[in-house]
Amino acid sequence: MSDESLNFIEQIIEDDLAAGLSPDKLRFRFPPEPNGYLHIGHAASICLNFGLGLKYNAPVNLRFDDTNPTKEEQEYVDAIKRDIEWLGFKWASECYSSDYFQQLYDWAVELIKQGKAYVDGQSTDLIAEQKGTPTTPGTASPHRDQSVEENLDLFERMKNGEFAAGTYVLRAKIDMASPNMHMRDPLLYRIINKAHHRTGNEWCIYPMYDWAHGQSDFIEQVSHSLCTLEFKSHRELYDWFLDQITDKNDFRPKQREFARRNLSYTVMSKRKLLQLVQSGTVAGWDDPRMPTISGLRRRGYTPESIRKFSELSGISKRDSVTEVSLLEFCIREDLNKTATRVMGVLDPVKVVITNYPADKVEMLPMENNPEDPDSGEHDVPFSRELYIEREDFQEEADNKFFRLTLGKEVRLKSAYIIKGESVVKDDAGNIVEIHCTCDLDSRSGSGTEASTRKVKGTLHWVSIQHAVKAEVREYDRLFLDEAPDAHSDKNFMDLINPNSLNIIKEAYLEPFLKDAKADDKFQFQRVGYFTLDKDSTSDHLIFNKTVGLRDSWAK
Ligand code: ATP
Ligand code: MG
Ligand code: MG
């Protein structure tokens, strides 16, 4: 039976349940390798697996696939846990492939005893060469028919550290003529003389992915082991390995594959992201331009927006690229509902209201969020000298310019209607002050007729004597190219956008923002959405622009 509202993975599960699988057997896992930070692609897998856990009320394990100590670190383990929790998911058990090293070793010894694995002393290059091509059979290793005793002895000595890295490997003895290259006597173990972040120097042989992954699924009794499409051709090997360690009464996991999530204007592989970090192209894994979960968090993305993005981009059987504008749409939608409205001027020019008393200050109430009736108000100080955005004034303007110009009226948001009267310029001809008069009866909310008088434009502003100075960081795409790693003739590192970070040293914000806290989200009215950066201090406020109010990339 096929149900349109289910994704194809859910359909597989429904079919299994219909065929008699007991619902209490359902169990999932998210299996990151701790060799980098999680990115928005991982979020697809996290939302899929943990989403299935919620849907079927089934446990989901967090399994660290930590079988390669040359690339893995505790820092990454910690970051991965932090990011999954932040996304709002809870794992049933925290598991590590390294916890199964002894069991995996014991099973490997069993395979040798059954004549299904052998130690090969050839170089890995030579072994790869002997695999042949998909249309021609491979060449058997001269060690393929070594005796069980010799294999057991060599394997034990591998484990005891008697051999240098690269001298010996353990291989499964399957079929050197198989049309599936993964079945041509794949490697199970290699020697790596490096301390592991959890097992230290206990082991110097480490299992390969194919040998560790399915067996770990079996140990944890995962029902559906969901991985990305590139592992489809590994499925035969996944099943072959399980055949060797299970009997017909055992409950066996099954591997199913879905498409990787790709995002336009970025690279996603951890190896490439690490290159961006190590080369200093970005300030770290959590640089707000990175497609990492921690980068998006620092940029001001919310867990809700990332979960929504996952829902909208869906689970697919075929590889495709999702537009980054969809991600921006999701955060904009969320922040529109939740962000506190404030005023901040990023490129200030001074306005003097000549008919407003010099010593007067009024506290004007401003709605925190028109989308949320419960969000209340806060006060904004108004005085004779203000900043507005430089681009909101033109000395001479045509009828299509609805901002401030000489002789025309605009409203200052939640305040008064003002009219441009004259400008003061410096010697170079730059405008340094705009002199305006104000309709003193027009204050918003004052109940007068003039308070509701309609004028064409509304501008944001801050009172100069009350404003707080802040640094504002604006971000653009990190890459100039839509698919930076899809070119055979160009390296993604050569496609970096040189202007992806714009630092505004002196922005002026309403004083309410002095008390902003780490997770607070703001809409600087007419400008965009902003959040406090982790480098911000009370003496030096720093805000990150999360996203603009509109899709500025839309054609
Ligand atoms: P990378 O190349 O970024 O290192 P990976 O697949 O090697 O990716 P893992 O840490 O092994 O990274 O991934 C953990 C889980 O997340 C795996 O099940 C993997 O298939 C899934 N995953 C990784 N990248 C994506 C992606 N872009 N889209 C969907 N799922 C992904
Ligand atoms: Mg992997
Ligand atoms: Mg990887």
- Where residue 114 sits, what CATH number does that domain have? 3.40.50.620
Q: Which atom of ligand 1 is nearest to the CA of 38?
A: 10
Q: Whose CA is nearest to atom 26 of ligand 1?
A: 41
The answer as to whether 455 is a domain residue is yes
The answer as to whether 264 is a domain residue is no
The answer as to whether 120 is a domain residue is yes
Residues 243 and 157 reside in one and the same domain: yes
Which domain does 503 fall in, by range? 270-340+470-548
3-state secondary structure of 427: coil
* Contact partners, residue 231, CB within 8 Å, separation at least 6: 238, 255, 257
Cβ atoms of residues 355 and 422 within 8 Å: no
Return the pLDDT at 399: 87
Which tokens belong to 492? 């993604």
Instruction: Tell me the ligand closest to 41's alpha carbon.
Output: 1
Q: Hey, CA dihedral for 204, 208, 209, 212, is it positive or negative?
A: negative
* Contact partners, residue 538, CB within 8 Å, separation at least 6: 514
The answer as to whether 5 is a domain residue is no
Residues 184 and 49 reside in one and the same domain: yes
Residues 292 and 414 reside in one and the same domain: no
Please report, for the domain that includes residue 497, its CATH number: 1.10.1160.10
Residue to substitute in 42, 208, 260, 266 for testing ligand 1 pocket (most ligand atoms within 8 angstroms of CB): 42
CA of 66 to the centre of ligand 3 (A): 11
The answer as to whether 11 is a domain residue is no
Among 233, 258, 283, residue at a domain's last position: 258
Residues 69 and 167 reside in one and the same domain: yes
Contact 269 CB / ligand 1 (< 6 Å): yes
Residues 162 and 142 reside in one and the same domain: yes
The answer as to whether 10 is a domain residue is no
Contact 45 CB / ligand 1 (< 6 Å): yes
How far apart are alpha carbons 485 and 273 in whole angstroms?
12
Task: Give alpha helix (H) positions in 221-263.
Answer: 235-245
Residues 441 and 524 reside in one and the same domain: no
Which tokens belong to 505? 């040293």
Residues 31 and 177 reside in one and the same domain: yes
Cβ atoms of residues 145 and 171 within 8 Å: no
The answer as to whether 4 is a domain residue is no
Q: Which residues of the chain register pLDDT less than 70?
A: 1-2, 552-555
Residues 431 and 371 reside in one and the same domain: yes
Please report, for the domain that includes residue 361, its CATH number: 2.40.240.10
How far apart are alpha carbons 158 and 168 in whole angstroms?
7
Residues 28 and 177 reside in one and the same domain: yes
CA of 134 to the centre of ligand 1 (A): 26
Residues 312 and 227 reside in one and the same domain: no
Q: Which atom of ligand 1 is nearest to the CA of 268?
A: 3
CA of 39 to the centre of ligand 3 (A): 12
Residue to substitute in 67, 228, 230, 292 for testing ligand 1 pocket (most ligand atoms within 8 angstroms of CB): 228
Residues 299 and 278 reside in one and the same domain: yes
Return the pLDDT at 555: 36
Rounded to the nearest angstrom, the gap between the alpha carbon of residue 64 and the centroid of all alpha carbons in its chain is: 18
Number of independent structural domains in the chain: 3
Among 431, 460, 489, residue at a domain's last position: 460
Catalytic residues: 33, 260, 270
Burial class (CB in 10 A: 0-12, 13-18, 19+), 273: buried
Residues 399 and 303 reside in one and the same domain: no
Contact 270 CB / ligand 1 (< 6 Å): yes
* Pairing between β-strand 409-412 and β-strand 458-459 as defined by DSSP bridges: parallel
Return the pLDDT at 5: 86
Instruction: Tell me the ligand closest to 227's alpha carbon.
Output: 1
The answer as to whether 330 is a domain residue is yes
Identify the helix (H) or strand (E) that includes residue 107.
Answer: helix 101-113
